[in-house]
Structure 1
């Protein structure tokens, strides 16, 4: 691609594509390509000028790499074009910008060039839509804000004040457009954050199952999904049988069985079993539209505080109409009576509340926090208890294998090969550690087993090529559930296993073959985050882990936890949260694994770590990136600030509009001025509600 370097400074370059105008699609493709480069911190492309502003991670190393990448770039390269989002926010913004420009310029043109009679005719014609909406509401037996708007417009025209009627309609249209624009953008941002983050899938080939980048999968290819996997693409089941949770797509609470011939959708979850899917839609684009519909139709976007404000707004409409009628009866002054109609509480309340919530969700997204609805932010703000899983949450998501202790005369390399072969199918931090260790030691672990069965929070069971049954997992699973035994002459060796490590046990045909020692270091920021959460009002910070008592107690002491529980099962975590609810406490659950999903569902706000199991991310109400637990502190601050903003908006709207009505009734403000101040304050409140909740210094402290 040809380009010009317009300017460069420390870690920043400004480039220009020498073309008159980039199309919206071309701008999206170039921006997505630049942001996909590892040495680029952030890039923004302006389609009107063809300029690209690029911030580099390191200029010395990034500049030559960027220039080479630009030389390779082509707008017609399909692999590059696939990086661009299918649903362009840029295109959506352009549409709303054009609508807003047309609305403002149209009003200015009519005011400057239309004669008075034509302006009146235009106002009367425009009023039909608002009057019809008010009449429709009355015919349904409901007194809504549309009735108030229609009454205000009709009263102004009956008084011959067509200028005020026109101004009211213009401000209503402007407010509706701004509300729709902000709502649509926030929903699109949220849908994008909730969209699938599945990078690789198991592709069925003649040579066996191969881990493949999902972007290269095409219709007709076959992929393999197993227990706890999120189905990444739409398709038809051709082999196997699976119990699929479709709640995120269809709302069905009960999983459905999918057999050969059945259809499955991107974003649904395999709860049990496994199957081979023939892909019918490579991009899984239906997923995005389904999420948007889910967000728009779901009450999840409304917190309890929002609901109360909405109900109050509707309840105040009859009082406004009654006040106008009573004022006219007492004063016989139409101007004073119309003051009631020019000012309503519903418009501002119904604009500012959802904008506040959606803007908070957007701001959380800027910190790599994906929130599925306003009520979860409210839950985070009001929570008193937070529960942490240990592995992959309080500890790093990249534990490492430090030793493989063998039993029954086996070879450590062979034991690790079997373990990696079994664990590679389940994307959990411990499983990843075993697979990585095998790779580092140059151990090949080709498929050597039959169907793999995953037992939640316990382990994995399968049969090897020689038909021996192999199990790998926790002490409880291997020795209690599966009744495996330790070789008689090696029980002392087993007792001497180092207690500072977590252990995963491998047994074949009922006999222990290896204990894999896992070092799972605490996150560097964990202690600081726990202290910060205490200061932010969470008075019970707990850890629940399936690990042994010795390891759990050591971590609890280091982190100043209020409570900890060791060797727990998934149902224990969920039951603990139930007990907290019985005490009247709201609870946050933070985890990353399949075994955390019951607790994530039970909590008022379930928070999943992004590098954890796909099913945990799907079920959770909130997802944070795996980079730092400090995002929990940011999330709590955003939630608190959101509740404060909603309450502040509520008080301001009630107080300001009540003052306008009072000044109107007293004759201090004419109806046109009341309408202007009311609508102006509504827009100002809406715009303020769209601003960030946290100041820059608060971001840095978090």
Structure 2
């Protein structure tokens, strides 16, 4: 803000001097007019000299150097009006640049806003609030539900449920037993617990991450401006031509005329205008770019680093898979677990209940509910005892199922947690809760490849096997697993020094890496304050594919800026030749330079209307896309029944299987096929128009025909089995049930990705 005010003051001073000097010149007070113009150019001259000095200290020569030479030369040769005009152009460019960065900076809150200021200390029989700085090692602290752990310490209570996603990046809450270490910055996701401080606030984990951010920021070299790169060849050319003109003519004013029209006003003005317009264009799409340097780097980036949790995954646990025991139905497993978990406030329970409600399952109200903190919930449903929770908790009263070992092995390999469900005297099934890949992630990575990214590296604090499993699904070039914040910074530091790198993250643990990359990008919709502050770009819309939009808009903005510079400097080169031949006095050269500036700036303003290469003018309303996706969620119980029935149909007698198969056949006809017909008649025409092309949905329509063919074949086999009870027909029915479940699950995922793409 201070730089912006200073630049506005400089511009106002210069413009005021131009006006007053013009009035004095009009009333024939020529000496006073020249003195006023000279005085008006001096503040800008001092500012320009400071900029040139700082550039020279970095061993650079920027666009400001030629402006400095032109202003000094004009003053020395008595061309005060030319000096004042050049000064006005320079200060207006400074105002535009500083305004752009200040505008973006105001959008962000203070750095690390989530750092707690106070803590609750247990002092004998009372609990008092104390400043964070007053905490000493050995103090007993109370951490209330939802509070942030203020310092590193040891759990004093029996258990503590913590959300450590801001530190580790992992979304699944963890249980810490008595005596376990906990780190500052984690959030209490369970009941209140006592903590023995092992460190002061200054020496705790959260403070250490803050220091890493500052260290990474100070180590990052300043980005070279596009204008400075263009000035690298213009300065020696202009000085050489001016020297030749002076030497040939013997008139120093001819050299000054060359320098006046060579003053890089198209660089000083057109580039900031294009960048400001590009930043505003990005902001309209939910992409906050904090400065022109970040936009320039984003346009040239070739290496992408990204965190796993909250970036390419949703950042929240969801039900990834339902395991039903032999003879049980997946929908019944979910319904039973959700019915009991209605009475629990645990974050895992809320996920299970929310999923059941999304699928519109009717939930029975449990009785005799008893919750064991950190283990699970027991209750009765219809007079039958039910237990939902950890495997050890559930299997205390019932035998371990034979499939439990394989299920837990899968959970361990893929990450997440397992919730077992027992009803009566047996385990009826289990739920695998895991953080799943965002729906838009595969498409976003494809778009980023097209936008110019050559190498993709996923950084995660998770185990290597879990990270590599997700990396192989996404097709990334490299996976770096088991990394702490310092490890992520080190991984980014290994990128070639000449390359431009992007880092995308959303948690406090990502903030140092965001600050160390060429361009740090934060998923700001639900990301931590530290990540947003350390980043150069914030995606305010919580969608990973907006990064591809940001890159394409940055490329379009840079292309327009280069065009503006080329137009302006091309015209300036022609004017320089005319001035060198003596046909363009300095004052007229300054006026001509103004016209060149207008042409360059008008072209630069096109960045305000730049569009990504994919059409975004006509989009599907987000509410409509969500409504279409919700229809799939309502059909998930039918898909669960298809796969569950496929697993147990061969164990049924003909008398048992007949009615069940007739029921599923009717469900397919009434639910699935009617949904597919509605897709073809109502939804697909709308989406096809948005996508464009002759027949963009032909592959999905082909899938509809395959689903219809499988459904007809299943119907024929069900009728045949009902009449004959043939075991061969039953095996064909099992194959068809599995086939329909698989193709429908894939088809729904493809449709949801398509809906997201056009919304």
Structure 2-normalised TM-score?
0.50
Could you tell me whether the CA contact under 8 Å between 2:313 and 2:438 is conserved in 1?
yes
CA contact (8 A) 1:339 1:671 kept: yes
Cα displacement string for residues 404-443 of structure 1 (whole angstroms, at most 9, x for unaligned residues): 99xxxxx999x999x988x8xxxxxx99969999999999
Map Cα deviations across residues 165-193 of structure 1 (whole Å, 9 max, x no partner): 43x24533532442243223212222123
- Alignment: residue pair count: 497
For 1:551 and 1:321, how far apart are their aligned partners in 2?
A: 57
Partner of 1:118: 29
Which residue number in structure 2 is paired with residue 178 of structure 1?
Answer: 92
SS in 2 for 1:538: coil
- How is 1:148-297 mapped onto 2 (pairs within 5 angstroms)? 148-157=70-79, 165-166=80-81, 168-196=82-110, 204=119, 224=150, 259=200, 270-271=207-208
Q: CA deviation at 1:635?
A: 1.5
Which of these two proteins has the greater Rg computed from alpha carbons? 2
Displacement after TM superposition at 1:632 (Å): 0.9
Q: CA deviation at 1:663?
A: 0.6
In structure 2, how many angstroms separate the alpha carbons of the residues matched to 1:602 and 1:174?
36
Q: Secondary structure at the match of 2:453?
A: coil
Distance 2:321 2:479 in 1: 26
Counterpart of 1:700?
616
Q: CA deviation at 1:660?
A: 1.0
1:336 aligns with 2:240: no
Q: Following superposition of structure 1 onto structure 2, how do residues 303-702 of structure 1 map, counting pairs within 5 Å?
A: 303=224, 305-309=226-230, 311-312=232-233, 315-316=235-236, 320=238, 323-324=241-242, 326-333=244-251, 336-400=254-318, 493-497=404-408, 499=410, 502-504=415-417, 517-541=432-456, 543=458, 546=462, 553=469, 556-557=472-473, 561-563=475-477, 565=479, 568-570=482-484, 581=496, 586-593=500-507, 596=510, 600=514, 603-610=517-524, 611-682=526-597, 684-686=599-601, 688-689=603-604, 692=607, 695-696=610-611, 698=613, 700=616
Q: Normalized per residue, which structure has more strand?
A: 1
8 Å Cα contact 1:352/1:649 also seen in 2: yes
Cα distance in 1 for partners of 2:44, 2:17 equals 23
Shift of residue 640 of structure 1? Answer: 1.8
Instruction: Report how far residue 554 of structure 1 moved.
Output: 7.3
Moved more, 666-675 or 612-621: 612-621
- Is the contact between residue 392 and residue 398 of structure 1 (CA under 8 Å) also seen in structure 2? yes
Distance in 1 of aligned mates of 2:349 and 2:288: 25
Q: Which runs of 5+ in 1 are unaligned?
A: 1-86, 158-164, 214-221, 231-240, 245-256, 274-290, 406-410, 424-429, 450-471, 474-486, 507-513
CA root-mean-square deviation = 6.2
Higher RCO (CA < 8 A, seq sep 6+): 2
Q: 1:325 to 1:185 in 2, by over 3 A?
A: closer
- The CA distance in 1 between the partners of 2:457 and 2:103, in whole Å, is 33
CA deviation digits over 1:487-522, x for unaligned, max 9?
A: 99689524224948742379xxxxxxx997324444
1:129–1:375: structure 2 CA closer, same or farther, 3 Å change rule? Answer: closer
> Aligned equivalents of 2:244 and 2:467: distance in 1?
73
Cα deviation for residue 674 of structure 1 reads: 1.5
Q: Deviation of residue 621 (structure 1)?
A: 3.9
1:400 Cα offset (Å)? 2.8
CA-to-aligned-CA distance 1:597-627 (integer Å, 9 cap, x gap): 5654564433332223444444444332353
What TM-score comes out, normalization by structure 1 length?
A: 0.53
Q: Are the structure 2 counterparts of residues 496 and 549 from structure 1 closer, same or farther at C-alpha, using a change threshold of 3 Å?
A: same
The CA deviation at 1:676 is 0.9
The alpha carbon displacement at 1:680 in A equals: 3.5
